[in-house]
Every structure is written in C-alpha cells, then in structure tokens.
Chain A
C-alpha cells in the first residue's frame, strides 16, 4: 500500500484545489472591475464559462451558463435557444460534473467552508432523497418560470432572481461593497433581503454539510449530472479490477450510489482509497490521475507532463490578467463639462464605447436625487452658464433619436414642456414591467412629453415586440448611446425628468412606481 502523507504536508492544497483556485481567478480575471465597481463589457462575455459564476460580478469575463440558459429560454418566443444548449451539450459531453469538482468557484467556496472544523452532517438516505431537489429547482425555476413568462413577453430568470447565492455574493455584494456604487443601495428591496437570507443559509450550511448548495440546490450540477455517464473527462472504473468492496462510495461525501453516477463530481477522492487501483480520472483513454501504485512506474513522465500543463495554464492566466487589467483608451477620463452656452448637440454623442458598444467608462447608477419643491436648482430659471451634465440641476444634454414608427425626436424641441425620458430594453425585466406606468402617465398628462428610449443593444425586433401591447407613447432607439450622456451605462432602467427649462430634476437608475413618477412630474411642473 502507498505511504500516506502525514502531518502538515497532508493539509497542503491538492492539485484539484489549485485547479479550482485557478478557474475561479480565470473566470474573474477583470480585477480592475472590483476597484472601479464596474462589470466587464468586452466581447469575451459572449462565451459561457463552464462553472456557476455570476456575469454581473465585477470580475467576471465570461457569461454564466445558467443565467444564459434562463435568458435564452425567456427569449425562446423569438428564437430557439440553440447557442446555450449547444454550449451546455459540449461542456456536458467533455466534462460533465467534472466542472463541479474542478471548475466551479461556488463549489470551491463551499469546500473551503466545509474545511472549518465542526461536527459534520454525514450523507444518509435523507440527503440522498434531498439531492433530487435540484432537479425540481431545474424544472421549476430554470425552465418553468422563464417559459411561463414568455407568453407575457417578460424575460424572467427565475433561479437568478429568487435563489442564486452566487448572484447575491458576487454581483450584489461585489458591486455594492464599492463606495462608487453607494447610490445603488436605494434599489435594494425585499428581493435582496430574501436572497441574502438564502446566501446566509448556504454559507452556514456549507460549514456543516459538504457542498450543501451543489448537492441539493444547484440546477447546473443537475444538468451536468445528466451527462455523467458519457462525459469524456471524469472518474472511470476498470470493471475487471473492481471487487465491489464499497470503499469508494463509502469515502465519497457526495450522495453517490456508485462511482461516476449523476451525483459524482469526478473529484478523484476515491482514486487513492481503491485497494485494487481500479479507479482513475481519465480524459478518454488518457489517465490524468491514477492510484499511486499505478503512477509510480511513470512518475517522471507524469511530472514532466504536469509541469508543462501548469506552465501553459499559468501563461494563459498571466495573459488573461494582463489583457483584462491593462489600461485601455476607454478608461481615459471623460471630457471636461460644458456650460449651457457652449453646449453643442453634436458634441454630446457618447465617446467610443469599446468592442460591444456598451460604455464601461461612465458611472452607472443613481446620478441624482428627486429635488424637493423649492430646491434652488429646480426653482430658478437656468442661468446661461448652467453646466450641461447628468446631475440634478444640470442642463440636460441635447440629443436626437429616431422614433419607432418614423420621424425623430430632438430634446431641444421639447423645451417649454416637462419631459420624461425612460431608458429601457426588451431584455430587461424591470424595464418591461414599469412601461405601463409611463403609458398611464402619458394618458393622464398629455401636456408632458414622454419618450421611452430603447437601448442601442437590440436583441429583438422592438416594433414587433411593441405590437403586442397598446402603448401610445413615443418609443425611440438610442442609436448613439444617449444614455451615457445621462450618466448611465450598464444598468437599466433609468428615468430622467426635466423641467420646462430642460433642467434635470430627477435622474435615477432603477424601477419607478407610478406614484413616484406622478409626484416628480407635478413637482417639475410647479418648479419651472
């Protein structure tokens, strides 16, 4: 039998742990996002990473496959979700639940928490039954809810919205911990409270129960589990050597009934306990991890192979860190503020926004507060030197946008009227939900100019989408990235209210209620 490591050496990070850390860092290589409090908006986000990693995390450089799947299902009224299904098929075929064991940051976090010494809850018949809960979550929250809301033209990522602790931790806490995003705290509501409680329970549970989220809740693990019998990279058993002693299943902390079944995360913990060296981790026919007895004769060859592998992997990681974190042109500081007299509509076009057309230079978030009646900025007529900007009290920058249905709208033409500008998109659930408020406002206040400006990032035929509703308010397309001149960028919806003089009295990212809209409009009418 092999000589077991003892003492502190036995507690050194294993190769698997190093791979887990590597994957977590590679998925979140945009380190400057944490410092700037912004998410990455480059083209690599079109690619899904294999593990669960929220794409609203400031560091994320790829898309979460589960979030992408839900959104693809939510858009399935317009197009079949081929791309995400294809990606999941390839990940499932090549890796299966090896992703859970090696390439998932959420799995890594749970394993580290489980290492904290406390009495542990061992697997039992009950945990085995509970492990099927994730299939229910997959059916209801990942597939059922998005498909149900397709008929209502509402993109609804059920799992992300109601359960996902990765979104709460990486996205919400990751973004809001940065003081730059303090104004976004005003957007937090019961949804965050509920999700934070789930996060706290997963955190506490992970200390006592091995991979509590993966085993009982994770729908991505459920999907990959379906591929576990045919995946190329994973734990394989040589039937001729196996004595069915049960040591492998006994040592496994997951709810496996046999090595390599749908619950097996292919971690390879069982490789060393097999007395007959029947178990190995393989990529097809190539052994990646074998019993020490089997590895001993080819130790030098393996060492060289692994050294080359790690060298390549580290080079990729170093390249990624440099690529994502080196300063770019778009990181340059914005142009100095103009005054009302100097303002020129042509100059208000947003700066080059990089690969995707979305700005990552502008500060997304609340750019102002509702002014109280009698506030200096709102009550006084605009002075000629009033600065043009996105803050409350600034003169709104002028713009011209094409209207759906023909014609165009120029903001300067709206002077003399209270104007409401709503930035929205068909793919944004809160935007779509609040559109009826603007329609009601439009009906109740015909003297108020209202325009709903769709993001320049268009995924659906907006006119076809609007034909499903009876909206009569004007809809426009943000062709030149007007939203950036109002301080917005990567977060929708955003609502801006201008008084009759074109001075901003309200500019906020996040959903609005009809009452708030009406109150703001009335104040804008009184103030000007």
Chain B
C-alpha cells in the first residue's frame, strides 16, 4: 500500500506539472496565434482548447483522489521537525499602547473616510466591474 501511495504521489506530481504547463501553453498560444484586429479569445477556440486539456485534468483529478484515499488508508502524517525558535521580545505595555492608539486611529480614520467620500469611492468601484482588475483590459 505504501509503495502504491508513493507511485501515485509521483504520478500526481507529474500530472500537476503537465496540467500547469498545458494551461500556460494554451493561453500563450492563443496570444501568439492571434491576428491583429481579430478577436483573440473566441468561445469555440476556448472550447477546443479546454477539450485538449480535459483528459489531463481528469487524469490529474482521478490521481489526486486515489492518492487522497491511499493517504487516509496508509495514515501518513508529516514528520515532526524541530527548529530553534527566534527569541521573543514582548513589551506588554507597548503592545497595549499600540492597540489603543490603533483602535482610536482606525475609528477616527473610518469616520473621516465616510465624511470625505472615501466610503462612496469604495462602493462605486465595487459595484462596477473593474475590467483591468479581472484582466479584461
């Protein structure tokens, strides 16, 4: 069982790399193959490329599922490690002062922000689709 688990882990790793590489390749290929003035991403083209990646994705998902079942059955857990921790320096008074100062500043800033239109800014940006943020350009 343990040997089978090790093999599945390796297969899943290879499939993960392959799947990632295929996704990157397909995206890059769409860009590199695009003709000027012609729509770069078309539904039918994306569909065809998804079909190319799909078998690897299914294999990857199956391999990951099998690996997960084997992990549960073999009861593998991560080995305990020991690392020397860095020294801790805590000044409870300074922490308390910082907390009070930040709490006051935070509440004050939110009030000021609501008054100066910052709240409205956030709302306006959030209720409109940010085309650049999601990569639409």
Binding site for B on A (CB under 8 A): 6-8, 10-11, 39-43, 45-46, 48, 54-56, 60, 62-64, 67-68, 71-72, 75, 79-87, 89-90, 92-93, 115-119, 157, 160-161, 164, 167-168, 171-172, 175, 182, 184-197, 200-201, 203-204, 207-208, 227, 229-230, 232, 237, 239, 244-251, 257-261, 273, 356, 358, 364, 425, 427-430, 455, 457, 459, 490-492, 510-511
Residue contact B23 to A251, C-beta cutoff 8 Å? no
Chain A residues with CB under 8 Å of B80's CB are: 247, 250-251, 273
Query: In the complex the two chains form, what is the Cα distance from A133 to B5 in whole Å?
Result: 35
| A87-B110, A430-B137 known; A157+B130 contact, CB < 8 A | yes
When A and B form their complex, which 6 residue pairs have the shortest distance between CB atoms, in order from nearest?
A: A83-B113, A86-B109, A204-B20, A171-B134, A83-B118, A250-B81
Query: In the complex the two chains form, what is the Cα distance from A221 to B106 in whole Å?
Result: 18
Query: In the complex the two chains form, what is the Cα distance from A250 to B79 in whole Å?
Result: 10
Q: Nearest Cβ distance between residue B124 and chain A, in whole angstroms?
A: 5
Chain A residues with CB under 8 Å of B90's CB are: 229, 239
Residue contact A230 to B127, C-beta cutoff 8 Å? no
Chain A residues with CB under 8 Å of B131's CB are: 187, 428, 430, 491-492, 510
Residue contact A259 to B85, C-beta cutoff 8 Å? yes
Residue contact B136 to A188, C-beta cutoff 8 Å? yes
The residue among A42, A86, A185, A459 with the most chain B CB atoms within 10 A of its own CB is A86
Query: In the complex the two chains form, what is the Cα distance from A184 to B93 in whole Å?
Result: 56
Residue contact A164 to B121, C-beta cutoff 8 Å? no
Residue contact A167 to B134, C-beta cutoff 8 Å? yes
Query: In the complex the two chains form, what is the Cα distance from A227 to B126 in whole Å?
Result: 26
Chain A residues with CB under 8 Å of B107's CB are: 86, 90
Chain B residues with CB under 8 Å of A86's CB are: 105-113
8 Å CB contact of B135 from A195, A273, A364, A491: A195
Q: State the interface size on chain B (CB cutoff 8 A).
A: 78
Q: Nearest Cβ distance between residue A250 and chain B, in whole angstroms?
A: 4
The residue among B80, B109, B116 with the most chain A CB atoms within 10 A of its own CB is B109
Residue contact A230 to B98, C-beta cutoff 8 Å? yes
Chain A residues with CB under 8 Å of B120's CB are: 46, 459
- Other than the given A90-B110, A425-B128, 7 more pairs (CB < 8 A) read A79-B117, A80-B116, A82-B112, A116-B16, A118-B16, A200-B24, A457-B127
Residue contact B23 to A43, C-beta cutoff 8 Å? no
Q: Nearest Cβ distance between residue B57 and chain A, in whole angstroms?
A: 11
Chain B residues with CB under 8 Å of A186's CB are: 39, 41
Q: Nearest Cβ distance between residue A352 and chain B, in whole angstroms?
A: 15
Query: In the complex the two chains form, what is the Cα distance from A79 to B99 in whole Å?
Result: 26
B52 within 8 Å of A (CB atoms): no
Residue contact A71 to B125, C-beta cutoff 8 Å? yes
Chain B residues with CB under 8 Å of A190's CB are: 31, 137
Binding site for A on B (CB under 8 A): 5, 8-10, 12-13, 16-17, 19-20, 23-24, 27-28, 30-31, 39-43, 46, 64, 67-68, 70-72, 75, 77-78, 80-88, 90, 95, 98-99, 102-103, 105-114, 116-137
Q: Nearest Cβ distance between residue B15 and chain A, in whole angstroms?
A: 9
Query: In the complex the two chains form, what is the Cα distance from A510 to B24 in whole Å?
Result: 25
Chain B residues with CB under 8 Å of A7's CB are: 72, 75
Residue contact B134 to A54, C-beta cutoff 8 Å? yes
| A83-B109, A118-B9 known; A258+B134 contact, CB < 8 A | no
Chain B residues with CB under 8 Å of A207's CB are: 12-13, 16
Query: In the complex the two chains form, what is the Cα distance from A29 to B86 in whole Å?
Result: 41
Chain B residues with CB under 8 Å of A115's CB are: 68
Residue contact A246 to B84, C-beta cutoff 8 Å? yes
Chain A residues with CB under 8 Å of B42's CB are: 185
Chain A residues with CB under 8 Å of B87's CB are: 258
Chain B residues with CB under 8 Å of A261's CB are: 86
Residue contact A249 to B84, C-beta cutoff 8 Å? yes
Residue contact B118 to A79, C-beta cutoff 8 Å? yes
Residue contact B114 to A161, C-beta cutoff 8 Å? no
| A86-B108, A90-B106 known; A67+B134 contact, CB < 8 A | no
8 contacts between A and B (CB under 8 A): A45-B126, A83-B122, A92-B102, A117-B71, A193-B28, A227-B102, A229-B95, A237-B88
8 Å CB contact of A63 from B95, B117, B126: B126
- With both beta carbons as reference points, the residue of chain A lying nearest to B32 in the complex is identified as A193
Query: In the complex the two chains form, what is the Cα distance from A259 to B83 in whole Å?
Result: 11
Chain B residues with CB under 8 Å of A62's CB are: 126
Query: In the complex the two chains form, what is the Cα distance from A92 to B84 in whole Å?
Result: 27
Chain A residues with CB under 8 Å of B5's CB are: 117
| A46-B119, A188-B41 known; A251+B134 contact, CB < 8 A | no
Q: Nearest Cβ distance between residue A26 and chain B, in whole angstroms?
A: 16
Chain B residues with CB under 8 Å of A168's CB are: 134-135
Q: Nearest Cβ distance between residue B18 and chain A, in whole angstroms?
A: 10
Q: Nearest Cβ distance between residue B59 and chain A, in whole angstroms?
A: 13
Q: Nearest Cβ distance between residue A345 and chain B, in whole angstroms?
A: 26
Query: In the complex the two chains form, what is the Cα distance from A359 to B121 in whole Å?
Result: 17
Residue contact A93 to B102, C-beta cutoff 8 Å? yes
Residue contact A249 to B85, C-beta cutoff 8 Å? yes
Residue contact B103 to A258, C-beta cutoff 8 Å? no
